[in-house]
Chains A and B, each alone.
Chain A
């Protein structure tokens, strides 16, 4: 099931700089998207979401951008902090409510 894809398995960023995590989707029926953050030995933690009626949603250092025509969303973290180092998943629910996850991108923020 490749409806949600994160093509970068890892990303390394210097502390204080911007982290940009990307996600593509194929199902044009998706109308709600979420980003989750996961530390080792913990469950995914909800970070931020966006509805398809918007193209941007901001919460503190985290901003999600949605480009519906390109079926692409991105998560921007600025400034990046070492505590942001984790695996980030984008996800979208299908019409039945089943959450479909991307493969994840491991972010490493170096001091």
Chain B
């Protein structure tokens, strides 16, 4: 069964550094998402992306965050200047249709540790 793949599985970075988290969504999916889960907290929405533009973003997704689909297969999340509180599991997800009536398929996540 096709799956969403994320790399790296674990990223350690120093505060103030830039990180890029990479995702390869399922090939025929059209909607792409980033979620994150801080340890012990809920899974929370960051951003959705469709037709090469952001559809919706949360208040967490400030100007330090950006997303890009540089080619037909990759979907990336960039954090320009990481903060300690950015430490979390970051999950990429994709779906063939809007999330209103179609389940999202999640990758296994990237654990980001900011020191």
* B-binding residues in A (CB < 8 A): 1, 31-32, 34, 36, 41-46, 49, 51, 89, 93, 95-104
| Interface 9-mer from B11-19, B63-71, B80-88, B105-113 | B105-113
CB-CB < 8 A to B31: which residues of A? Answer: 97
Q: Within the complex, what minimum Cβ distance (angstroms) separates A95 from chain B?
A: 7
Contacts A44-B91, A96-B56, A101-B44 given; does A49 touch B103 at CB 8 Å: yes
Of residues A41, A43, A46, A100, which shows the largest number of chain B Cβ atoms within 10 Å of its Cβ?
A43
Q: Which single residue of chain A is at the shortest CB-CB distance from B47?
A: A98
Q: Within the complex, what minimum Cβ distance (angstroms) separates A72 from chain B?
A: 19
8 new A-B contacts at CB < 8 Å, known A96-B56, A98-B56, A99-B33: A41-B108, A43-B4, A49-B103, A89-B43, A97-B48, A97-B55, A99-B99, A101-B44
Select one of B35, B43, B100 contacting A93, CB under 8 A: B100
List, sorted by A's number, 10 A–B pairs whose CB atoms are closer than 8 Å: A34-B103, A41-B108, A41-B109, A43-B93, A89-B43, A97-B56, A98-B58, A99-B33, A101-B44, A104-B42
CB-CB < 8 A to B99: which residues of A? Answer: 93, 97-99
A95, B100: Cα distance in complex, Å: 7
Q: Within the complex, what minimum Cβ distance (angstroms) separates B31 from chain A?
A: 7
Q: Within the complex, what minimum Cβ distance (angstroms) separates B83 from chain A?
A: 21
Check A98 against B48 for contact (C-beta < 8 Å).
Answer: yes
Contacts A34-B103, A43-B91 given; does A100 touch B45 at CB 8 Å: yes
CB-CB < 8 A to A98: which residues of B? Answer: 45, 48, 56, 58, 99
Of residues B4, B91, B100, which shows the largest number of chain A Cβ atoms within 10 Å of its Cβ?
B100
Check A103 against B103 for contact (C-beta < 8 Å).
Answer: no
Q: Within the complex, what minimum Cβ distance (angstroms) separates B10 from chain A?
A: 10
